[in-house]
Amino acid sequence: MDFIKVSAACPVTRVADIDFNLENINICIDNAYKAGAKSIVFPELCITSYTCGDLFMQSSLLNKSMEAIEKLVYKSKDTDMLITVGAPLNYNNNLYNCGYVIFNGKILGIIPKSFIPNYSEFYEKRWFSEGLGIINKKVDFKFQKDIPFGTNLIFSSDNFNFGFEICEDLWVAIPPSSYLALMGANIIGNLSASNELVSKADYRRSLITNQSARLMSSYIYASAGVHESTTDLLFSGHLLISENGSLLKENARFQRDNEVIYSCVDIFRLNAERLKNISFRNSSTTLPFEPNYIKFQFNSTSIKNFDRFVDKHPFVPSNPKERAERCKEIFNIQASALAKRMEHTGIKKAVIGISGGLDSTLALLVVVKTFKLLGIDHKNIVAITMPGFGTTDRTYNNALTLCKELNCDLREINIVKAALQHFEDIGHDKNIHDVTYENVQARERTQILMDLANKEGGLLIGTGDLSELALGWCTYNGDHMSMYSVNPSIPKSLVRYLVRYVAEQEYTGNVAETLLDVLDTPVSPELLPKGATDEMVQKTEDIVGPYELHDFFLYHFIKHGSSKERILLLSTQAFKDDYSFDEIEKWLNKFIYRFFTQQFKRSALPDGPKVGSISLSPRGDWRMPSDASFNSFK
Residue 632 counted as an annotated binding residue: no
Contact between residue 215 and residue 188 where contact means Cβ atoms under 8 Å apart: yes
Residue 194 known to bind ligand:
yes
Distance of CA 383 to the CA centre of its chain: 37
Is 71 annotated to bind a ligand? Reply is: no
User: What is the residue type of 400?
Assistant: L
Please say if 44 is a catalytic residue. Answer: yes
Q: How far apart are the first and last CA of the chain?
A: 17
Instruction: Write down the catalytic residue from 44, 124, 526, 548.
Output: 44
Residue 357 annotated as lining a ligand binding site? yes
Secondary element (H or E) of residue 461: strand 459-462
Burial of 477 (0-12, 13-18, 19+ CB in 10 A): middle
What are the residues facing 462 on neighbouring strands? 485
Catalytic residue among 113, 349, 492, 530: 113
Distance CA 382, CA 385 (A): 10
Whether 473 has a binding-site annotation, put simply, is yes
264 is known as an active-site residue: no
Distance CA 328, CA 365 (A): 13
Q: CB–CB of 481/488 below 8 Å?
A: no
90, 58 Cβ separation under 8 angstroms = no
Spatial separation of the C-alpha atoms in residues 160 and 155, rounded to whole Å: 8
> Residue 133: what are its φ and ψ, rounded to 5°?
95, -10
Does the annotation place 360 within a ligand binding site? yes
Cα–Cα distance list, 240 to 7, 209, 250, 252, 265 (Å): 9, 9, 4, 10, 13
Which helix (H) or strand (E) is 246 found in, with range?
A: strand 246-250
DSSP string computed for 337-406: HHHHHHHHHT---EEEE--SSHHHHHHHHHHHHHHHHHT--GGGEEEEE---TT--HHHHHHHHHHHHHT
**Cβ atoms of residues 221 and 261 within 8 Å:** no
- The reply, when asked if residue 105 is annotated as ligand binding, is no
Query: Residue 519 annotated as binding?
Result: no
SS (H, E, C) 291-344: CEEEECCCCCCCCCCCCCCCCCCCCCCCCHHHHHHHHHHHHHHHHHHHHHHHHH
Q: Are 536 and 526 in contact (CB under 8 A)?
A: yes
Distance CA 283, CA 280 (A): 5
The number of angstroms, rounded, from the C-alpha of 365 to the middle of its chain's C-alpha atoms is: 28
Give the three-class secondary structure for 469: helix
- Residue 341 CA to residue 618 CA, distance in Å, equals 19
507 is in an annotated binding site: no
In 35-186, DSSP assigns E strands to: 39-41, 82-91, 94-103, 106-112, 137-139, 147-149, 153-157, 160-166
In 3D, which of 545, 534, 630, 541 has the Cα closest to residue 587? 545
Tell whether 555 is in a known binding site.
no
**Residue 200 in marked binding region:** yes
Query: Does the annotation place 375 within a ligand binding site?
Result: no
Q: Is 356 annotated as a binding residue?
A: yes
Question: Is residue 439 annotated as involved in ligand binding?
Answer: yes
Which of 28, 46, 167, 403 is an active site residue? 167
Catalytic residue check, 327: no
Q: Which residues are annotated as a binding site for ATP?
A: 353-360, 463
Binding residues for deamido-NAD(+): 439, 468, 473-476, 601
> Which residues are tagged catalytic?
44, 113, 167
**Where is the binding site, in residues?**
119, 194, 200, 353-360, 439, 463, 468, 473-476, 601
Residue positions in the annotated binding site for L-glutamine?
119, 194, 200
